[in-house]
Structure formats: C-alpha cells, structure tokens
Chains A and B, each alone.
Chain A
C-alpha cells in the first residue's frame, strides 16, 4: 500500500510543519488595498474622459466614430451643429449627447484609437462601484473634464501634459514614466496616490 508509506511517515509530517513555520516569518505580498494602491501599467484602460482644448473648447466634434467602432455598443453619441454665438467645439459639430454605459464597456480602448481629435481617452481610474445600475451610464457631465480642472491652467499647457497635436495619445500612454504621461490630467491626483503606493511597495521604510 503506497498510502501507508506516506501516512505513517513522521519525517514527512515534521518537514511539512517546518515549512509552514518558516512561512510565518516570510514577507507577505499583500497590498492593503483601500489604504495603499498598487500602480498598474501606464497603458491601463480605465474610466473614460472627454478632453478639452487649451482654450476650453471641447475636443469632441460629434463624428460618432467611437460609437460605430465600439464592439460592445456601449457608446451613444448624438451630434449637433455649433451655432456661431455658442461654439462648443472648433469644428462644425459637437456632441449634444455623449453617453457611455460602463457596464457594457469592455475597456478595449478602440474608441480612443478611432477618435480623430483625441477627445475620448481612457484614464487609469478603475474605482467605479455604485449602488444602482443606472449610475453606470456616464453622461457628458461626468465624462467631460471640467473647465476649471487645470487650476488656472489648461491641461495641454501644463509641463508634461498631453500635447495638443493629434495622434499622440497612444504614444504618451506607452511611456513608463508616469509624470510625463497622465500625471498632468485633472485625474492625475489618483495616479499620484497610486504612484506613492508603488513607492511604498518597493521601499517599505519610506512609509514612515
């Protein structure tokens, strides 16, 4: 009986006991989440954000490319013509309604790639829990960067901010240096928090 060999082998049991005892004093890999946050990749796809130009105009021109490319049908865009006395965006049209159902969204980032003006980007923000399903339909009020988010300075003008010229969002997001990437957006505070979490993880003494 092969089983008996293992069952009545005190040496094996003692070896097992010594292993579990040794594990008690090992370094635990736990990151205690709500108080400390692990930094994820700079290219992480999280909650969307609708950006503005430096002069405060919306980047979105209501072309609906994001909504046509979206594989999950999560985006609804209804465009409207700009009127001369109330110009929302530099183009002819702007998004009168812009809604993303974050429960449908698969965070693939294709909207970001399709966007001709880099208006829609995926931020690294991921804490979106809420109590009602309805709360996950993010409308323009929640997606659009507030006009005063730059604290006196438009996002594009800040040092290391995402440049205003087109087609560089993906490149900026590929950078591993967080400060020259998203550190300059109005949700940069969240990233800063996560960055500190990473520093603590790498160097626990820095927590003091």
Chain B
C-alpha cells in the first residue's frame, strides 16, 4: 500500500472517530451537567437523547451565517477554520495504542512528538484571537485579548510540566514516553507536574473555571459573540476536540497511555486508552459543574505567581533526582 493511501485511510477513520467523540462528549457534558444540577438533561431526541448531536448539527448548519458590518471579512471567515484545523491537527501524531509487534497506532510517528503538539496547540490561540479581533465588536475583542494573555501565561507552566516527564522518559517521542511508563505511570514521580498539567489544560481549553475568554456573565459570549450558524459550530467543535486532545495528552504523559494498570492485560491497550481519556473528560465536566469562574487578575496571579514557580521547582527537583539516581 502506498504511504499516501495509508495515511489517507487512517486520517479518514480518525476524523470520523474524533468527530463522533466530539458529538457524544457534548451530549455527555449536557447530561452530566444536568444530573449534577438535578435536571434530566436532553432526552427528547431519540432514546435518552442519543440523537441530540444530530439535531444540533442540523440546526447549526441550517442557521443563517451572520457577519457584522464592521467585521474584517477574510479573517472573520477564516478564524473558525484556524481553530478547527489546529484542534484536529494534533491527532496526526497522537498514538492510541500499540500492536504486539510494537507498531504504534497513529497516523504519523514523529520523534519530537511532544514539541509538535505544543507547537500546534499554540497556534490554536490564533483562531480565538483573530476571531475576536475580526468581529469588529467590543466584547469579542475583550474576549480575545483575555484569551491571548491567558494562553501565554498558562502555556509556560504547561510546557514546564511536560519537561519533567521528558527528563524521566529521556525521549520526546510519544510512544517512547508511553513505553517508559511500562513499570509505573509518571503520575507517581511527577505528581506535582500532573496537577499543574491538569490545571493548565483547563486554562488552555478555555473551560470553566478558567473560561474568561467566553465569560458569558461579563462578555456576552466572548470571542464568538458575533458568530452564528456553522461558524459558531466550528468554534464549538474546536473547543471539545481540544478538550479531547488535552485528555489524550494527560493520558499519554502521566497515566501510562495504553499500558494496562495492575497487569489487567486481557483488556486491549486501546480500550485502556479510551477509558483513561473518558475519565479525564468526565473530570473536566465535573470541574465545570463545580467551580465558579476566577476573576481575571486572580487568574493571572495564579498562573504567574503559583503555577510557574511550582512548575520550575518541580523541574529542578526532577532533574537533580534523575542526575543523581539515573
């Protein structure tokens, strides 16, 4: 089979899987938030509301695509696609499992996988930033300014929490990191790093309690106030796919990827990977149902004065311990 055909088939399958998981992650979030607020959640479309994502998609596609007069037409139309492309782009290198022969289940296997993920993830802020700016309206602009500041401050601590893992694993390739966790998961030696990553990941995906970018009580809907119809839908997809991405990365870096815990190897590795990702997704929804939004200045203070020093300290301690023992 030629390489391009193999990549094409893998991409189509993965795209299908990711879009389906997005649809049901959205439904699950609405259900779980509902249950936590003593509501039943969507249950009218199909059994237990299982066809709700299809109904939502039909609604978003059929809605009018509005553009404000003051908007910058090109950037306004382009921004949702930037968000979406960067969100999906990461899946080109995320491995989901490994066959018995050691072949990883991924579209591409990149040596510097973790760096590529960081690079693509950082581009994602452009979608939000340009979308807010190009709307030519004050609330989206405020939302995108906040987004830029938030993303930059939290990405530092996030990258530093990665480095601790890299020092332990001694490699930047994702399957190398997973293989290095065959004995024990990095969540044990890198507990502080894991906590920092989980917190910064919430901030990176702009979700509650760090959803200042959208902040509906202050900024109407933040950066996507002016968007409607399918373009709003694309931002929406990007948000959930990003959630899925950070859950995948947390699983790969800290929770052993497709390695089975307690030698429960009769369940295949891919299933373990999915279980771990689902647990993370649930955690993010749980967090959203629990915590109120942080005030903007406290968010910044927390990022720069707590997370960043803590991540640096964690890295230094890890490096010293590895240098003496390893």
Contact = CB atoms under 8 A, between A and B. Distances in A.
A26 B298 contact: no
Interface in A132-170: none
B282 to A, nearest CB: 10
B35 interface: yes
A7 B298 CA distance: 9
Nearest to A23: B36
Interface residues of B, number: 17
Given A7-B298, A7-B302, A8-B306, A28 B290 contact: no
Contact of B286 (A3, A20, A26): A20
B39 A20 contact: no
Interface in B68-109: none
A7 B40 CA distance: 31
Contacts of A78: none
A71 interface: no
B38 A26 contact: yes
A28 B38 contact: yes
Interface residues on A, range: 10 to 19
B219 interface: no
Interface string A25-48: 110111010000000000000000
A16 interface: yes
A21 interface: yes
B12 interface: no
A23 B37 contact: yes
Interface of B: 32, 35-40, 43, 286-287, 289-291, 294, 298, 302, 306
Closest 9 CB pairs of A and B: A24-B35, A20-B290, A20-B36, A16-B290, A20-B289, A23-B36, A28-B38, A30-B40, A17-B290
Interface of A: 3, 7-8, 13, 16-17, 19-21, 23-26, 28-30, 32
